[in-house]
Amino acid sequence: MNAATAADYGWIRSASSVFQYGLEMGYTLTLVRGISPAELLSVAGAEALGACEGVGEFMEGHTEILFGYEDFPESFLAGAFTVPGEGGDWTLALEFGGDLGTRPSIMEALSTGTRAVSHSSNGAKFMDFFHWYEDGKLRTTFEWPAERTGSTPDELNTLMLEVGLNPAGDQRPDVDTKAAAFALAERLTGVRVTEELLAQAHYQTGEVPEEPAAEGEGVTVDVTDAHGERTSF
């Protein structure tokens, strides 16, 4: 039985950790069982960009895209690779400043017939999210452990307690909730994420376009002047 807890992921806070950039910049880490990295990137609508050897090269590619725009970035770099886990191979996808693993349309498609789990942070705003999808359905999601939604919001309560999260109220001050999110993802996937795994992975990369903003409904105003003529705008 997988017994991962927050203590197993204390390395993410180390000053020398390869993950420090993700905590500062924001990140999303997604795990999907039974699909290939290329399939995941295709479902996400990514333009394939080739491979990166190690997280250092991947971060360089991310920075190149980030600063390639004069104003707000219109895309982000996602990197994916295969890892062993519960029930077979999984694809791990990582982004810095991206949101692939938080878009419902992508996660529903990725999880059809299988399982998908993601956790994320937007860095400086201290907003952290966890998502568990099963066969195209959002089962449990939360920003704060005590405020869960989804079709089965309470199903992970026992696991949450075991990894160090409190689904009933205030969190323990001695538990790193971000490390606990890593541990909860491991409980659901069997994938142990280590610093060495991220540092040495062979990333297949793709450039994912930002999600377009929803268009507001237009409003037509009719104005009638003193001569009875109407103008619409």
pLDDT tens readout for residues 89-115 = 999 999 998 999 999 999 999 999 999
Query: Does residue 1 fall inside a structural domain?
Result: no
For 225, the domain range is: 6-232
User: So what's the pLDDT on residue 224?
Assistant: 41
**Model confidence over 165-191: pLDDT tens digits?**
999 988 889 999 999 999 999 999 999
Which of 209, 199, 185 minimizes the C-alpha distance to 90?
185
Q: For 62-84, give one letter per residue: b (16+ CB within 10 A) or e.
A: beebeeeeeeeeebbbbbbbebe
Quote the pLDDT of residue 71: 65
Q: What is the mean pLDDT of the chain?
A: 89
Domain count for the chain, please give it. Answer: 1
Q: Which residue would you say has higher pLDDT here, 229 or 104?
A: 104
Strands lying side by side in the sheet with 27-33: 47-53, 202-209, 75-85, 88-96, 27-33, 115-121, 128-134, 137-142, 148-149
Residue 217 lies in a domain: yes
Task: Check if the beta carbon of residue 22 is closer than 8 Å to that of residue 199.
Answer: no
